[in-house]
Amino acid sequence: MATRRSTRIVSRKHSLSPAPLPSPRKTPKRTPTRTTVVKVESPDDEPLVKIEDPSANRSSDNTDASPLKDRKLKLLSANLTSSPFPTFGHPTPAECVLAHDILTSIHGRKTRPSQVVASKTRAGCGDSPSVLDALVRTILSQNTSDANSTRAKLSMDAVYGGSDNWEDIVEGGQERLQEAIKCGGLSQVKSKVILKILNQAKERYGVYSLDHLHSASTDEAMQELLSFDGVGPKTASCVLLFCLQREDFAVDTHVHRITGLLGWRPKNASRDQTYHHLNKKIPDELKYALHVLFVSHGKVCEDCKAGAKGITNCQLRKAFRSAVIKDVKPERIVAKGTMPMKTEERSANAMSEATVEEAKAEIVDGVKDEIKEE
In 3-state terms, what secondary structure has residue 356? helix
What is the Cα–Cα distance from 237 to 233, expressed in whole angstroms? 6
In 3-state terms, what secondary structure has residue 363? strand
Reference 252, options 225, 224, 242, 244; nearest CA is: 242
Please give the single-letter amino acid code of residue 287. K
In 3-state terms, what secondary structure has residue 153? helix
Give yes or no for a contact between 95 and 265, defined as CB atoms under 8 angstroms apart: no
Q: Which of 190, 192, 196, 234 is catalytic?
A: 234
Please give the backbone phi and psi of residue 364, each rounded to the nearest 5 degrees, phi first. Answer: -85, 135
Please give the backbone phi and psi of residue 324, each rounded to the nearest 5 degrees, phi first. Answer: -125, 130
Specify the DSSP element, H or E, that contains 50: strand 48-52
What is the Cα–Cα distance from 287 to 255, expressed in whole angstroms? 12
Reference 348, options 358, 356, 340; nearest CA is: 340
Residue 156 to residues 29, 122, 138, 146, 164: CA-CA distances in angstroms? 37, 12, 14, 15, 10
What is the Cα–Cα distance from 273 to 238, expressed in whole angstroms? 16
Residue 107 to residues 335, 343, 373: CA-CA distances in angstroms? 22, 19, 23
Task: Note if 120 is an active site residue.
Answer: no
What is the Cα–Cα distance from 101 to 360, expressed in whole angstroms? 11
Q: Any idea which residues carry the catalytic annotation?
A: 234
